[in-house]
Amino acid sequence: MGGRWNGTALVVAVAAPAVEGKANEAVRKALAAAFGVRKQDVRVVHGERGRDKVVQVDPAPADARERLERLLGG
């Protein structure tokens, strides 16, 4: 996980198949680990059935912005 796509989006690649929500669960698990939160705190708010997703981390950790910048390679 890490790096930018199209300038502002975080790249998250998972090996789980896009079947029965397995890929979405893998994305949620990876982001939860990266942000130090529970998997339940990461929600796909847009793009549940597509490649591109918008996620929400709630509650976000106090250092969420710094963590995101590191993941984006900044």
Quickly tell me which residue has 């059935």 as its tokens: 49
Q: For the residues 20-47, what does the mean pLDDT come to?
A: 96
pLDDT band at 69 (very low <50, low <70, confident <90, very high): very high
Number of domains forming the structure of the chain: 1
Contacts of 56 (CB under 8 A, 6+ apart): 42, 43, 45
Q: What is the pLDDT of residues 52-62, one digit of tens each?
A: 999 999 999 99
9: domain CATH number is 3.30.1200.10
Tokens of 41: 């705190």
Structural domain range at position 56: 4-71
Whether the link from the prior residue into 17 is cis, omega within 30° of 0, is: no
pTM tops 0.85: yes
SS3 67: helix
